[in-house]
């Protein structure tokens, strides 16, 4: 994780980490298991990689203060989707076999959390 000039995390990074933790807690309460957090590779990154039964779930977490400019879900642009898919492909290449998988998005707008299953078509 990048740090600012003083060597600490920025306000935006702290907000993102808190949103990821809230999403992780929610998904675990729904029975998903964490496989990896903040997976990064050249060309992309994935916030959470979870398992639900036999399915690997790649999760993008988006937080916004409110619904202006289309809200958190609208911020998952086609370019962001391509980077997620690329990162997922790289992660899957390092695994034994290819399990079923899907892309979910967890949005937080204010205090409202929404879990969008199969939000991105690969």
In tens, the pLDDT along 71-114 reads: 566 667 788 889 999 999 999 999 988 899 999 999 888 788 99
Here the tokens at position 6 are 């003083």
Domains of the chain: 11-120 (3.40.1350.10)
Q: For the whole model, what pTM was predicted? A: 0.85
Q: Is 29 helix (H, G, I), strand (E, B) or coil?
A: helix
Mean pLDDT for the chain overall:
86
Q: How far apart are the first and last CA of the chain?
A: 27
């Amino acid at each position: 994780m990048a740090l600012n000039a003083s060597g600490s995390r920025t306000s935006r990074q702290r907000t993102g980490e808190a949103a990821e933790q809230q999403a992780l807690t929610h998904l675990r309460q729904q029975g998903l298991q964490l496989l990896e957090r903040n997976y990064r590779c050249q060309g992309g990154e994935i916030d959470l990689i979870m398992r639900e039964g036999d399915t690997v779930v790649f999760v993008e977490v988006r937080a916004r203060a409110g619904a202006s400019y289309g809200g958190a879900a609208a911020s998952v642009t086609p370019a962001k989707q391509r980077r997620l898919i690329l990162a997922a492909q790289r992660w899957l290449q390092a695994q034994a076999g290819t399990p079923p998988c899907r892309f979910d998005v967890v949005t937080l707008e204010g205090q409202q959390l929404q879990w969008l299953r199969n939000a991105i078509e690969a």
